[in-house]
Structures are given as C-alpha cells and as structure tokens.
Amino acid sequence: MNGATVLDNRVGSHSTHGPIQVTARIVVNRQIATRIWLMRLECKGLAQRIRPGQFVMVRIPRPSDPLLGRPFALYDTWLDASGDIAGIEVVYMELGRATRQLPKLNGGETVEVWGPLGHPFPEPFIGAKRVFLVAGGIGQTPFLAHARELMGQKGYGGQPLRDRGIEVHLVYGARNASFHAGVEHFRSTGANIHLATDDGSTGYHGRVTGCLEGLLGPDPTRDHIFGCGPEPMLEALAQMVSVRGLTCHVSLETPMACGLGICFSCVTKVKTPEGWDYKRVCVEGPVFNTSELVWPDRHSLVD
C-alpha cells in the first residue's frame, strides 16, 4: 500500500480495512457523452476495498480553488495486463468549479483520492425476482458495478462472486440521447436496458419514472428498486414506490465537503419515532431506504 494514508477506521466504510487516502495517477480521462467523462485511476489498495454503492472523494492537488474534494461513485474497478486489480474508474459530468477542471488533466497527472466512503448497496430483499436500477442525469454511475456484482460477473471489496439469479434492468433517463453515457458498458453485462429521454430522441419519450411505471406490470411486489439521480427525480420515484408498497433504496448525490463525517455539510432529513432528525449522507448513506427519507418542502422553499 505504497503512499497510502489510512484514514479513521470508525467512519465512512463498510469494508474491513476502512478508507485510505492516496495520490492516484490518471491512466485514462476521455469523453464518453455530452459533458460526461470517464476517468481511470491507478489506486490498487483503494480498488481492492471498494464495493458498489460506495464512493470516493477526488481533489485536484494543484489549484487552491476548489480547495475541497468532490464525491464520485465507484463506476467500476479495472484490472492490469496480468489480471490483477489495479484501480478504479469514475464517470463525471462537467458541472461546476471542480468538474470543469477535471477534463483538462492528462494521463500521467495525479489527483488526491480518499475512500472507500459510505455504505455499499444492500442486498435485494429475499425473494426478489427483479431489480430495477433507475438512473436519471448522471445517476447511472453507481449501477454498472452494482449490476456486475448482482449478476455474479465480478467481485468487489474481497466479496466472492455470486449470481443472485435475479433479472437486472437498467432504466436510464437523460435530457436527450447525447447525454446517455456508457450504455455499451451496461449492455455488456447482459442486463436489460431501457432508455428514456425528455425530448424523445431515443427510447421512451418522457420521465424515467414514467418509463419504469410501464415496466413494473400488475404485480411488482417481487421487484426491488434502486434509484440514483437528481433529488426531484428521486422524490418522484419514492412517491411512486410508496403508493405501490415496493422496496426502494436511493443513492443521494448531496454536495459534500469532507466525505468523512466531520463537517456535517451533507446532512439529509430522516424520519424518527419522534418526528425527524438529520443523518450524514457520507457516513450513514449515501444509500437510504426511501421509506426513511423526509423530502424537502419545495413549496416552502419557493415562498
């Protein structure tokens, strides 16, 4: 584990060894869709620990702006020529101060990375027959490794390969066809792919929740739903599954400062017997059962 700093074992990790901080060499940084890039990082120790649903913080070392790292989901791990695990891949969308600088970094340059952080996706409930991975915007990123793990194609974090024997469906919505990133990676898993676009340029014409609704069928009680994407999409998904009494976990994309449970910049509201409380998305999440989340009162935010 050359050059790796072991971070506090008590926080942020579901793996046996806890998070580490490393300086990772960029091996690949290439555009794969409109404003969306795939970055392959050399970070063996971290890659050996991370599981689908967990994330890493990435910080560009040189500029002082932005000072803070940014969270990115594990997209996949990659293997070197001899078949040994060598690092991780993240897929990012150009959005603001950090993600607009990332595409300028070339192969051979380095970034600071710490992780694995947060909890992995939970197992589908016992008896589940189908899993729907419902993604909006850049929300597909945690689902490639999740699909591969569920289908027994790849082990992560030292877990043995195990095919759950469950049908896996990706339901992936984007603004238009040019924003669909990495669809070929998902196709290569053999998962069922359902695309949706707001403008109808490919697949279902409309919101991803509408596309999902058409796929559930009359008795969806053996379906386990996982979602990731913008908060309004996740809220719509939560309402939909609540009406049908379905099990649904979502991965939140809340902005974060430390990723380690220290700063409380990432809190989300959860239900408690007394009413509600805050939980830190970086430590207690980023994956939550939708039945425990309290969504923001958008009307009062607008007022």
Ligand X SMILES: Cc1cc2nc3c(=O)[nH]c(=O)nc-3n(C[C@H](O)[C@H](O)[C@H](O)COP(=O)(O)OP(=O)(O)OC[C@H]3O[C@@H](n4cnc5c(N)ncnc54)[C@H](O)[C@@H]3O)c2cc1C
Decide whether 210 or 261 has the Cβ nearer to ligand FES. Answer: 261
> Site mask, ligand FES, residues 189-218, x = CB under 6 A?
------------------------------
What tokens appear for 234 in the block? Answer: 């996740």
The partner in contact with residue 20, picked from ligand FES, ligand X, none with C-beta cut-offs of 5 to 8 angstroms by kind, is none
Decide whether 22 or 281 has the Cβ nearer to ligand X. Answer: 281
Q: Give strand pairing partners of 220.
A: none
What tokens appear for 7 in the block? Answer: 């971070």
Restricted to residues 228-267, the positions that interact with ligand FES (CB under 6 A) are: 256-259, 261-266
Shortest Cβ 265–ligand FES spacing (Å): 5
CA dist 144 and 126 (Å) reads 22
DSSP state of 289: E
Among 4, 19, 20, 72, binds ligand X (CB under 6 A): 72
For ligand FES (CB under 6 A), the number of binding residues is 12
Main-chain dihedrals φ then ψ at residue 185, nearest 5 degrees: -65, -40
Q: Considering Cα of 103, then 54, then 171, then 231, what sign does the dihedral take? A: negative
C-alpha to C-alpha distances, 215 to 110, 195, 208, 251, nearest whole angstrom:
43, 12, 11, 21
Window contacting ligand X (CB under 6 A); options: 15-23, 63-71, 145-153, 169-177: 63-71
Show the beta-strand stretches assigned E in 164-274: 167-174, 192-197, 204-205, 223-228, 247-251, 267-272
Decide whether 93 or 262 has the Cβ nearer to ligand FES. Answer: 262
Shortest Cβ 242–ligand X spacing (Å): 23
Decide whether 139 or 220 has the Cβ nearer to ligand X. Answer: 139
Shortest Cβ 222–ligand X spacing (Å): 28
The partner in contact with residue 97, picked from ligand X, ligand FES, none with C-beta cut-offs of 5 to 8 angstroms by kind, is ligand X
**Coil/strand/helix, residue 176:** coil
203: left (phi over 0), alpha (psi -120 to 50) or beta: left
The partner in contact with residue 146, picked from ligand X, ligand FES, none with C-beta cut-offs of 5 to 8 angstroms by kind, is none
Among 97, 129, 205, 298, binds ligand X (CB under 6 A): 97
CB 256 within 8 A of CB 118: no
CA dist 295 and 11 (Å) reads 25
Residue type present at position 37: W
Window contacting ligand X (CB under 6 A); options: 3-11, 44-52, 168-176, 248-256: 248-256
